[in-house]
């Protein structure tokens, strides 16, 4: 058992390097395809040819893009994420605090949404076809089908503007106690839970139903095992592979995809930083963010695969 | 709050009343005016109380000011030369000072300069105020001014006003408090030009601008690009009038609804640049109000004169008749605009030619002109983008008017990202978005001179160029107004730039914030509000 | 709706829908009908400003009120149906078909095919959709097929990963081993043994992906990819009228309701497909 997990992790580590390289190449190509460079974007409407040329020279953007990319990769091996084109600050410094903010938000949302999704998904599968199942389905689909910005804005209108219970903005720097943490995170976490929990609930339900219909669960039922025992000891372990994969996919959204929540609650996270980086063609910044998202995603999927192997003895 | 306005009272009406008060109308005059319009005495009284509130208060010290702007990114800068948008302007106004300052009504005031004099509008002598110090304790001298002005000419700096600064052929220190500026040609507007945000004075030799070491009303406590900035009251500020608040925090909330909600929930005291449609909401909430500024910024439709279909005789004229200015002003901008007449000088500017009337909406006339141009029945692409405010909506209004006369406009909404690079000044028909600028000379030189860097329609007229240079050097304001008036007619008739409306900037603020006044350089007192406003409990 | 018409025509009993399924099917078919007949049904031209007010209330003249410019919301929703239903359906079918086929192939073939495909899609999944969307506009330009393709590519890696996880689980079952020993090729294994056994969860995944695509669609339209003014898909209608939310304007509520009823119906329909289609035989 441990050996298969070990070989998986070892294999993944090698593959990770390759995946990261593919991502950075893809990001490089994508960014090069976009019109303009940092100099023209920063100058905006004031971008006369000589102004652009001067600024390019000052920012060392006159060297070929491919060469700059290779230098950036080389720097990466020394743990140097490079310097932002747009403001000349070290990328590591720009990302630092904002990555921590993003991780905090993602962590709290995970703690909140995963247990919720498991409970709702499994119970909906057990009581499949009942009113309870329908209500859960109706609500989960109903909630994700409302665009995120509507959920967030409605929450702010109700809880901040009319009731004055919670702050409309999530000031990350004003968290000094658990109560403040809850007040600041309440609305962003609820909004994100709406988004990520639905997928987990639906996939848990579907995978569980699939497992509850298999022969050996039916066998166990015939042998007279109790319902909860069947669910927890027989069906769940076998359904866990797809479920954790669905969870990995959902949770990976929490790092790079939370741009709307970051914008509406003015929460300084890494998703908005990357979008800004794309807008200013700040390649070192965009590359570094993409690497972080990719690593986060790979960690989640690798964890999912490990859980799947551990849960299903046949995969070992 | 007992000062509820009548149901159909709009912010534009508030603005009218406030303007009347500024012009010196007494309460009695105004009440008579309102009652003549059918407004009851009680309601009229409450309206006047609302309007007069901001004007009659005395400043109080203290409090933490929090304000949200509209845009912020990793490119946020405290380098005045690179300042690109309202967020940068707001910050540099808090941390630095200019030689001159444009106050309300467009009157020029001295800020770091004690006086600016010239005899020929070509050689200017600037005397600096005594006893001004930078945040790091260094006293302000002529060397700082020389450095600050000359750096715009260095292409490595990437200055936004390099083109304007180019006319300063020599900037030299005469003595520690006197600077002499020599221009390439006479320009009577130099003192006004020096009031532009990019001409803030920085300390001699500065390379790292993230410290924000200026002479301004606040010192930099925190500056994180794309996140926020915090300034603390400058105890050694050279002006005795301010600042009133202890600290000033500024950050951007790009989502308009979220910005308004942050204000209404009490998290911030001012939300800048709100949508006209939010005015009703803000006014309906007790303890909140809007402040409007007509500075003259606009979104315009540009048809290049050097390429098809702009080269076809009658096409551009037809377009000018097909643009439904009234509908744009009413439906798109919800009345928060003045109708435009296809030239860049707005009614807010003293040089505005009031005799030049905007073309009326006349689809039949447009149709016959299009027929003459041979475009009727064809499909003409129009590039719009969210990068140019309201341009997509304006394009749709035009598209609809076209559909009614058998003209197809293929409106292409393109990404904001890269818009100024890829489409503006490039596509045959596209939208532009011009920020307010204080003098006709700046607008004409940037946008309509034959060698203008942003000649949006490729308009070229040697006579226009000659008049531009002539008016620039004139110290006789009446004569200038006459020339600029004629130039407005030329641009309006012959250029391919259609300017349907001059937009009003709307800021929403808490009733606890006082002292905000309109300013010709843009919303929020030309972005310099932080040192002038005060908070009450 | 292609997935539905491809399935065998409902015959009595074995293919009968239950009540919930019927409701879902009815709403989905209604949307399809509105999409087809849209130009005949809309009372006003889609770009015409017909109301002097903005975020106008429901009235006899404007049944669903007016939008931020004073255009008729009912007409805008009706004409938006085509874009929402058509584009989302096209994209979800491409994404799920591609993802499921490749996912199953990776699970059955294993080895380096699995490795390459999995790492490639992991990499693809790490590229932010906004950057990808902008790149597509810059590289290929803007059109509806490009929009559909972009949406499909964005959601393909997720469909792949989920299908692969399901297939890997099934792949370990005894009957697969038996089939392998029998000497069956990968194609047979995928089509006859694996697909029937992962159908339920895959369909559920498709339903969910449909919701995500409907929502992302408006985001990409705002980047300038695809649906062009005066047309707008439902998500874009919600977005452009968001300022009406504090006023409780019908302009923001009705497109939201339209999205919710379509997506809920699609998912209810999938959950309540006749047993014959949905479950293992």
Is the model's pLDDT at B46 over the cut of 70? no
Do residues B25 and B111 both lie within one domain? no
- Mean pLDDT is lowest, of A294-303, C10-19, C267-276, for C10-19
Contact status of C131 with chain A (Cβ, < 8 Å) = yes
Strand, helix or coil at B286?
coil
Phi, psi (rounded to 5 degrees) for A132 = -55, -45
Nearest to B91 by CA among B241, B165, B200, B180: B200
Which chain A positions have a beta carbon within 8 Å of C169's beta carbon? 238, 241-242, 308, 312, 315
Taking CB atoms and an 8 Å limit, are B256 and C243 in contact across chains? yes
Chain B residue with the nearest C-alpha to that of A56: B156
Taking CB atoms and an 8 Å limit, are A153 and C120 in contact across chains? no
Do residues B275 and B378 both lie within one domain? no
- Mean pLDDT is lowest, of A3-7, B241-245, C273-277, for C273-277
Q: Which of B261, B331, B413 sits opposite C229 (nearest CB)?
A: B413
Beta bridge partners of B381: B410
Do residues B276 and B422 both lie within one domain? no
Which chain B positions have a beta carbon within 8 Å of A98's beta carbon? 227
Do residues B266 and B158 both lie within one domain? no
| % of residues, chain C, pLDDT over 70 | 92
Q: Which of B74, B253, B422 sits opposite A266 (nearest CB)?
A: B253
Whether residue B476 is contained in a domain is answered as yes
Give the integer Cα–Cα distance in Å for B117 and B132: 20
Contact status of B10 with chain A (Cβ, < 8 Å) = no
Distance from CA of B379 to the nearest CA of A (A): 26
Q: What are the tens digits of pLDDT across the range B61-119? A: 999 999 999 988 888 999 999 998 889 999 999 999 999 998 877 788 999 999 999 99
Residue A168's H or E segment, with its range, is none
Residues 6 or more apart whose Cβ sits within 8 Å of residue B289? B14, B50, B282, B283, B508, B509, B511
Structural domains of chain C sorted by starting position, each given as residue range(s) with its CATH number in brackets: 19-278 (1.10.3720.10)
Interface of B with A in 481-500 (CB under 8 A): none
Q: What are the tens digits of pLDDT across the range B293-334? A: 888 899 999 999 999 999 998 999 999 999 999 999 999 999
Contact status of B308 with chain C (Cβ, < 8 Å) = no
Contact status of A246 with chain B (Cβ, < 8 Å) = no
Say if residues C79 and C39 touch (Cβ distance below 8 Å): yes
Q: What is the ipTM of this complex?
A: 0.86
Q: What is the reported pLDDT for B72?
A: 86
Q: Which of A139, A146, A210, A302 to mutate to test the interface with C (most CBs of C within 10 A)?
A: A210
Q: What are the tens digits of pLDDT across the range C195-216? A: 888 888 899 889 989 998 998 8
Band of the pLDDT at A58, cuts 50, 70, 90? confident
Structural domains of chain A sorted by starting position, each given as residue range(s) with its CATH number in brackets: 3-34+81-310 (1.10.3720.10)
Check which CATH number belongs to the domain holding B343 and give it. Answer: 3.10.105.10
Q: What is the reported pLDDT for B18?
A: 58
CA angle B80, B86, B92 (to 5 degrees): 30
Q: Which of B332, B385, B395 sits opposite C224 (nearest CB)?
A: B385
Q: What is the mean pLDDT of residues A13-26?
A: 83
Do residues B101 and B245 both lie within one domain? no
Q: Which of C23, C107, C122, C209 to mutate to test the interface with A (most CBs of A within 10 A)?
A: C122
Q: Which of C45, C49, C142 sits opposite B327 (nearest CB)?
A: C49
Chain A residue with the nearest C-alpha to that of C124: A23
Residue C65's H or E segment, with its range, is none
Contact status of B251 with chain A (Cβ, < 8 Å) = yes
Residues 6 or more apart whose Cβ sits within 8 Å of residue B203? B134, B136, B138, B144, B147, B213, B214
Q: What are the tens digits of pLDDT across the range A148-163? A: 889 999 999 999 999 9
Chain A residue with the nearest C-alpha to that of C246: A157
Distance from CA of A13 to the nearest CA of C (A): 11
Give the integer Cα–Cα distance in Å for B308 and C280: 63
Is the model's pLDDT at A203 over the cut of 80? yes
Taking CB atoms and an 8 Å limit, are B421 and A36 in contact across chains? yes
- Give the neighbours of chain A: at least 3 Cβ pairs within 8 Å: B, C
Task: Give the CB-side neighbour count of residue A116, counting CA atoms within 13 A.
Answer: 18
Band of the pLDDT at B10, cuts 50, 70, 90? low
Q: Is C73 exposed, middle or buried (0-12, 13-18, 19+ CB in 10 A)?
A: buried
Strand, helix or coil at B55?
coil
Do residues B283 and B317 both lie within one domain? no
Q: What are the tens digits of pLDDT across the range C35-60? A: 999 899 999 998 899 988 899 999 98
- Mean pLDDT is lowest, of A14-23, B34-43, B279-288, C154-163, for B34-43
Is the model's pLDDT at C156 over the cut of 50? yes
Provide the residue range defining the domain that includes B273.
Answer: 64-69+216-294+506-535
Q: What is the reported pLDDT for A22?
A: 85
Taking CB atoms and an 8 Å limit, are C162 and A30 in contact across chains? no
- Mean pLDDT is lowest, of B249-263, B452-466, B496-510, C129-143, for C129-143
Contact status of A56 with chain B (Cβ, < 8 Å) = no
Q: Which of B386, B397, B412 sits opposite C228 (nearest CB)?
A: B412
Do residues B277 and B225 both lie within one domain? yes
Task: Give the CB-side neighbour count of residue A35, counting CA atoms within 13 A.
Answer: 17
Distance from CA of B408 to the nearest CA of C (A): 12
Chain C residue with the nearest C-alpha to that of A135: C268
CA angle B198, B200, B202 (to 5 degrees): 120
Give the integer Cα–Cα distance in Å for B54 and B449: 41
Say if residues B249 and B233 touch (Cβ distance below 8 Å): no
Interface of B with A in 141-170 (CB under 8 A): 154-163
Number of structural domains (chain B) is 4
* Residue pointed to by tokens 């439904």: B324
Q: How many helices (H) and strands (E) does chain A have?
A: 14, 0
CA angle B381, B382, B384 (to 5 degrees): 140
3-state secondary structure B519-536: CCCCHHHHCCHHHCCEEC
Q: What is the reported pLDDT for C18?
A: 82
Say if residues A256 and A27 touch (Cβ distance below 8 Å): no
Do residues B322 and B418 both lie within one domain? yes
- Mean pLDDT is lowest, of A258-262, A308-312, B93-97, for A308-312
Strand ordering across the sheet containing B178-183: B113-118, B123-128, B178-183, B168-175
Residues 6 or more apart whose Cβ sits within 8 Å of residue B111? B97, B98, B99, B100, B101
Q: What is the reported pLDDT for C7?
A: 43
Q: Is A290 exposed, middle or buried (0-12, 13-18, 19+ CB in 10 A)?
A: buried
Beta bridge partners of B133: B139
Nearest to C137 by CA among B139, B391, B417: B417
Q: How many CB pairs under 8 A join A and C?
A: 176
Q: What is the reported pLDDT for A25?
A: 87
- Which pTM was predicted? 0.86
Q: Is A77 exposed, middle or buried (0-12, 13-18, 19+ CB in 10 A)?
A: exposed
Distance from CA of C230 to the nearest CA of B (A): 6
User: Cα B33 vs. chain centroid, distance in angstroms?
Assistant: 31
Q: Mean pLDDT for chain C?
A: 86
Q: Which of B280, B330, B415 sits opposite C134 (nearest CB)?
A: B415
In this structure, what token pair is assigned to residue B360? 């009326």
Do residues B268 and B303 both lie within one domain? no
Crossing angle of helices B477-494 and B440-447, rounded to 10°: 30
Q: What is the reported pLDDT for B245?
A: 95
Residue A296's H or E segment, with its range, is helix A283-311
Which chain C positions have a beta carbon within 8 Å of A283's beta carbon? none
CB count within 10 Å of CB A309 equals 18
Q: What is the mean pLDDT of residues B414-439?
A: 89
C198: left (phi over 0), alpha (psi -120 to 50) or beta: alpha
Band of the pLDDT at A48, cuts 50, 70, 90? confident
- Mean pLDDT is lowest, of B370-379, C17-26, C245-254, C271-280, for C271-280
Whether residue B16 is contained in a domain is answered as yes
Q: What is the reported pLDDT for B21?
A: 56
Say if residues A313 and A257 touch (Cβ distance below 8 Å): no
For B439-533, where are the E strands, in sequence order?
Answer: 497-498, 501-503, 505-510, 513-514
Whether residue B34 is contained in a domain is answered as yes
| Among A22-26, A263-267, B464-468, C163-167, the range of highest mean pLDDT | B464-468
A59-67, Cβ contacts within 8 angstroms, sequence gap of 24 or more: A59/A85, A61/A37, A61/A85, A65/A28, A65/A32, A65/A283
Contact status of A84 with chain B (Cβ, < 8 Å) = yes
Q: What is the mean pLDDT of residues C15-20?
A: 76
Q: What are the tens digits of pLDDT across the range C227-245? A: 888 999 999 999 999 999 9
Q: Which of B256, B280, B393 sits opposite C69 (nearest CB)?
A: B393
Q: What is the reported pLDDT for B17?
A: 60
A312-315, Cβ contacts within 8 angstroms, sequence gap of 24 or more: A312/A237, A312/A238, A312/A240, A312/A241, A312/C169, A312/C172, A314/C172, A314/C173, A315/A4, A315/A241, A315/C168, A315/C169, A315/C172
Higher pLDDT, B191 or B242: B191
Is the model's pLDDT at B1 over the cut of 50? no
Nearest to B123 by CA among B61, B81, B75, B186: B186
Domain end position, chosen among B137, B164, B199: B199
Give the integer Cα–Cα distance in Å for C180 and B4: 81
Pairing of strands B298-303, B497-498: antiparallel
Contact status of C278 with chain A (Cβ, < 8 Å) = no
Alpha-carbon Rg for chain A, nearest whole angstrom, is 24
Give the integer Cα–Cα distance in Å for C70 and C53: 6
Whether residue B495 is contained in a domain is answered as yes
Q: What is the reported pLDDT for A145?
A: 84
Cis bond leading into C182, ω under 30°? no
Say if residues C23 and C271 touch (Cβ distance below 8 Å): no
Do residues B278 and B317 both lie within one domain? no
Q: What are the tens digits of pLDDT across the range B136-164? A: 999 999 999 999 999 999 888 888 888 88
Chain A residue with the nearest C-alpha to that of B227: A268
Q: Which of A42, A50, A276 sits opposite B226 (nearest CB)?
A: A276
Which chain B positions have a beta carbon within 8 Å of A262's beta carbon? none
Is the model's pLDDT at B34 over the cut of 60? no
Residue A172's H or E segment, with its range, is none
Say if residues B297 and B337 touch (Cβ distance below 8 Å): no
Q: What are the tens digits of pLDDT across the range B164-190? A: 899 999 999 999 999 999 999 999 999
Q: Which of C24, C116, C128 to mutate to test the interface with A (most CBs of A within 10 A)?
A: C128
Whether residue B75 is contained in a domain is answered as no
Residues 6 or more apart whose Cβ sits within 8 Å of residue C144? C83, C87, C226, C227
Do residues B383 and B403 both lie within one domain? yes
Contact status of B183 with chain A (Cβ, < 8 Å) = no
Taking CB atoms and an 8 Å limit, are C69 and B396 in contact across chains? yes
Is the model's pLDDT at B5 over the cut of 80? no
Do residues B177 and B220 both lie within one domain? no
Whether residue B83 is contained in a domain is answered as no
Whether residue B35 is contained in a domain is answered as yes
Chain A residue with the nearest C-alpha to that of C197: A210
Whether residue B263 is contained in a domain is answered as yes
């Amino acid at each position: 058992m441990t050996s298969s997990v070990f070989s998986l992790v070892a294999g993944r580590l090698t593959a990770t390097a390759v995946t990261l390289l593919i991502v950075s190449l893809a990001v490089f190509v994508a960014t090069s395809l976009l019109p303009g460079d940092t100099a023209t974007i920063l100058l905006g409407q004031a971008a006369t040819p000589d102004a652009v040329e001067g600024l390019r020279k000052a920012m060392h953007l006159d060297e070929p893009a491919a060469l700059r990319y290779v230098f950036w990769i080389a720097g990466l091996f020394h743990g140097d994420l490079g310097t932002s084109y747009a403001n000349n600050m070290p990328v590591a410094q720009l990302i630092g605090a904002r990555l921590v903010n993003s991780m905090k938000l993602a962590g709290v949302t995970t703690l909140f949404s995963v247990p919720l999704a498991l409970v709702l998904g499994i119970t909906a599968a057990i009581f499949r076809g009942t009113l309870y199942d329908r209500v859960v389905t109706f609500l989960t689909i109903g909630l994700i089908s409302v665009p995120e910005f509507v959920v967030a804005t409605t929450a702010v209108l109700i809880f901040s503007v009319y009731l004055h219970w919670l702050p409309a903005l999530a000031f990350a720097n004003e968290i000094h106690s658990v109560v403040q943490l809850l007040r600041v995170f309440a609305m962003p976490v609820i909004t994100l839970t709406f988004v990520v929990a639905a997928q987990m609930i639906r996939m848990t339900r579907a995978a569980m139903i699939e497992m509850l219909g298999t022969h050996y669960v039916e066998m166990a039922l015939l042998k007279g095992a109790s319902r909860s025992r069947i669910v927890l000891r027989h069906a769940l372990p076998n359904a866990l592979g797809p479920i954790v994969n669905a969870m990995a996919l959902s949770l990976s959204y929490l790092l790079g995809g939370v741009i709307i929540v970051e914008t509406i609650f003015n929460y300084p996270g890494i998703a908005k930083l990357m979008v800004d980086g794309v807008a200013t063609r700040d390649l070192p910044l965009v590359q570094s963010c993409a690497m972080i998202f990719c690593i986060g995603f790979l960690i989640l999927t690798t964890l999912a695969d490990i859980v799947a192997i551990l849960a299903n003895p046949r995969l070992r | 709050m007992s000062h509820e306005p009548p149901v159909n009272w709009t912010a534009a009406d508030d603005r009218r009343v406030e303007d009347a008060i500024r012009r010196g109308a007494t309460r009695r005059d105004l009440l008579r005016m309102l009652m003549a319009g059918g407004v009851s005495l009680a309601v009229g009284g409450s309206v006047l109380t609302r309007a007069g509130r901001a004007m009659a208060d005395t400043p109080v010290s203290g409090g933490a000011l929090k304000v949200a702007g509209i845009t912020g990114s990793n490119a946020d800068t405290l380098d005045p030369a690179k300042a690109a948008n309202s967020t940068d302007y707001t910050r540099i106004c808090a941390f630095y000072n200019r030689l001159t300052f444009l106050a309300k009504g467009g009157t020029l005031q001295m800020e770091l300069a004690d006086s600016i004099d010239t005899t020929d509008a070509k050689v200017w002598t600037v005397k600096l105020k005594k006893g001004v110090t930078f945040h790091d304790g260094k006293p302000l001298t002529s060397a700082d001014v020389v450095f600050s002005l000359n750096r715009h000419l260095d292409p490595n700096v990437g200055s936004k006003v390099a083109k304007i600064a180019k006319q300063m052929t020599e900037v030299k220190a005469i003595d520690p408090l006197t600077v002499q500026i020599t221009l390439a040609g006479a320009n009577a507007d130099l003192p006004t030009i020096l009031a532009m945000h990019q001409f803030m004075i920085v300390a001699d030799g500065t390379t790292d601008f993230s410290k924000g070491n200026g002479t301004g009303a606040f010192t930099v406590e925190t500056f994180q690009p794309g996140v926020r900035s915090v300034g603390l009251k400058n105890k050694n500020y050279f002006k005795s009038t301010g600042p009133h608040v202890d600290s000033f925090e500024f950050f951007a909330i790009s989502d308009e609804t979220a910005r308004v909600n942050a204000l209404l929930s009490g998290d911030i005291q001012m939300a800048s640049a709100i949508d006209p449609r939010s005015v009703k909401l803000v006014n309906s909430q007790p303890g909140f109000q809007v402040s409007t500024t007509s500075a003259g910024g606009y979104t315009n439709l540009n048809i290049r004169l050097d390429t098809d279909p702009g080269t076809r005789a009658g096409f551009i004229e037809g377009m000018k008749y097909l643009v439904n200015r009234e509908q744009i002003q009413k439906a798109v901008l919800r009345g928060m605009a003045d109708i435009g007449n296809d030239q860049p000088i707005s009614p807010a500017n003293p040089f505005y030619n009031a005799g030049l009337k905007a073309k009326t909406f006349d689809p039949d006339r447009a149709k016959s002109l299009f027929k003459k141009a041979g475009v009727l029945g064809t499909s003409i692409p129009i590039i719009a983008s969210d990068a140019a405010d309201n341009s997509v909506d304006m394009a749709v209004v035009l598209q609809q008017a076209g559909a009614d006369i058998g003209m197809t406009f293929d409106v292409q909404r393109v990404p904001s990202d890269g818009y100024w690079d890829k489409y503006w000044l490039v596509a045959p028909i596209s939208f532009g978005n011009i920020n307010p600028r204080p003098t006709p000379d700046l607008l004409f030189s940037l946008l309509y001179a034959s060698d203008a860097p942003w000649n949006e329609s490729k308009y070229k007229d040697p006579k226009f160029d000659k008049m531009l240079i002539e008016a620039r050097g004139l110290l006789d304001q009446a004569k200038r107004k006459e020339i600029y008036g004629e130039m407005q007619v030329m641009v309006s008739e012959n250029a391919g730039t259609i300017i349907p409306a001059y937009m009003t900037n709307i800021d929403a603020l808490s009733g606890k914030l006082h002292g905000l006044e309109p300013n010709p350089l843009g919303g929020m007192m030309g972005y310099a509000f932080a040192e002038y406003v005060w908070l009450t409990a | 709706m292609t997935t539905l018409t491809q399935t065998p025509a409902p015959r009595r009993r074995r293919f009968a829908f239950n009540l919930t399924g019927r409701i879902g099917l009815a709403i989905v078919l209604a949307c399809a009908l509105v999409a087809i007949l849209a130009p005949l049904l809309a009372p006003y031209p889609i770009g015409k400003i017909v109301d002097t007010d903005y975020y106008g209330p429901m009235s006899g003249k404007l049944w669903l009120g007016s939008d931020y410019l004073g255009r008729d919301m009912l007409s805008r929703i009706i004409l938006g149906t085509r874009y929402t239903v058509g584009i989302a359906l096209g994209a979800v079918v491409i994404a799920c078909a591609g993802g499921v086929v490749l996912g199953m192939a990776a699970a059955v073939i294993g080895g380096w095919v699995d490795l390459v495909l999995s790492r490639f899609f992991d990499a693809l999944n790490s590229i932010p959709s906004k950057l990808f969307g902008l790149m597509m506009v810059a590289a290929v330009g803007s059109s509806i097929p490009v929009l559909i393709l972009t949406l499909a590519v964005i959601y393909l890696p997720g469909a792949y990963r989920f299908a692969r996880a399901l297939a890997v689980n099934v792949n370990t079952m005894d009957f697969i081993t038996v089939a392998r020993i029998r000497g069956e090729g990968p194609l047979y294994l995928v089509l006859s043994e694996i697909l029937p056994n992962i159908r339920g969860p895959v369909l559920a995944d498709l339903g969910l992906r449909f919701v995500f695509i409907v929502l992302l669609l408006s985001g990409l339209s705002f980047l300038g990819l695809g649906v062009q003014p005066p047309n707008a898909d439902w998500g874009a209608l919600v977005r452009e009228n968001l300022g009406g939310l504090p006023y409780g304007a019908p302009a923001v509520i009705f497109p939201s309701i339209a999205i919710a009823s379509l997506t809920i119906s699609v998912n209810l329909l999938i959950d309540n497909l006749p047993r014959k289609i949905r479950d293992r035989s």
